[in-house]
Amino acid sequence: MKLGLSVASYRWVCYPPTLHDNHGATIHSVTHPAYLNTGMPLPYTLSITPPAPGDHIEWTIDRAAALRLSPLYLCVTWFDDEDHARRTGRLMAEKNIKLIAAGTGDWATTGDEWQVERDNFVRQMRLGKAAGADIIVAVHHGALEHHHFSKNPPIAEQIKRMIANFNELTSSAEAIGIVMAFENHMDYRCTEIAEVVSAVDSPWLRVNYDFGNSLAVIEDPLEAAKAVAEWTVMTHIKDMRIQSKTLDGEPRILTAPLGQGNVPIPEILEVLQSSVADPDNLALCVEVAPQPHQDPEAWMQISLAYMRENFGQYLT
């Protein structure tokens, strides 16, 4: 397995949409507001210098290099066009970093809406391939409308739609030469994703398993890993802390540095090591994703130390 980096670990630092003016305002101190005006708290501390306006891609690549992490999971929607993607791919190659592309679509829609989603994702596949990616993660961006618990349409119908839609996309993925990896993105249970991937039955549709996201749909992370391990070609390694009882009577699920939450990371790694097709090359893209008032670099250092000190037997 190879330790990698998910750009989402630094989402509040380098994602352009989360910056104050949507054009690259940066954080240099807690007196400089750099978040959208949504009531999000400013960071208490930030131990790294954020990217200068417009430098979010290069900044993220440099973070991966500094942390000795490859591959890098990066949003292809950040590329202006295929030429920009190729330039980025060359920069990553110079730093010995392999790209895993991040793409999005609403996999459970139909009709004209699906045609738009399909065309957008095909474009994203081409951008990812131009930048050197062999895998593009299929992130469901329609989760506010379509997810495990939504009833219009019910989950059985959503699964039928996703099977049909991914069946349609496999020919494009094959022509482009990039494998789609369907992620459990706090939307569907891994048992449902397994149903889709099994029905499509194509080497061009596989799975990105996220260690923590299944908790959002009330699915045990270890059982989730078992459900999709045979198709898993990359992962987001994440930890979450479950506060099952609180003073106001509502449970909480909170992000945590690796090793400090309730996700059974050692047991999941055992399942992946024994069940994935190519465990030596399986990416463990660290996705700690702290809230904006916490220091992402501190979380990253804690998480990398935990992985390197406890799971060296898995790391290649």
CATH number of the domain where residue 35 is located: 3.20.20.150
- Is 181 within a domain? yes
Mean pLDDT calculated for residue range 293-297: 87
Q: How many domains does the chain have?
A: 1
270 exposure class (CB count in 10 Å sphere: 0-12, 13-18, 19+)? middle
- Is 142 within a domain? yes
- Is 178 within a domain? yes
Decide if pLDDT at 24 tops 50: no
- Is 33 within a domain? yes
Mean pLDDT calculated for residue range 241-256: 91
Mean pLDDT calculated for residue range 224-231: 98
**Dihedral, CA of residue 263, residue 305, residue 282 and residue 65, to nearest 10:** 130
Q: How confident is the model at residue 181 (pLDDT cuts 50, 70, 90)?
A: very high
pLDDT at 20: 41
88 exposure class (CB count in 10 Å sphere: 0-12, 13-18, 19+)? buried
- Is 169 within a domain? yes
- Is 315 within a domain? no
Q: How confident is the model at residue 70 (pLDDT cuts 50, 70, 90)?
A: very high
- Is 316 within a domain? no
Q: How confident is the model at residue 29 (pLDDT cuts 50, 70, 90)?
A: very low
Mean pLDDT calculated for residue range 104-129: 98
Residue 282 DSSP symbol: -
- Is 155 within a domain? yes
**Percentage of the chain with pLDDT > 70?**
91
Decide if pLDDT at 41 tops 50: yes
Question: Among the listed ranges 62-66, 155-159, 223-227, 290-294, which one has the minimum average pLDDT value?
Answer: 290-294
**Dihedral, CA of residue 175, residue 192, residue 135 and residue 274, to nearest 10:** -120
Mean pLDDT calculated for residue range 218-225: 98
The answer to whether the CB of 179 falls within 8 A of the CB of 198 is no
Q: Output the CA–CA distances (angstroms, integers) from residue 223 to 125, 155, 218, 252, in the order listed.
A: 30, 19, 11, 21
Instruction: Round to whole Å and give the CA distance between 154 and 22.
Output: 36
Q: How confident is the model at residue 293 (pLDDT cuts 50, 70, 90)?
A: confident
Residues of the domain holding 75:
2-310
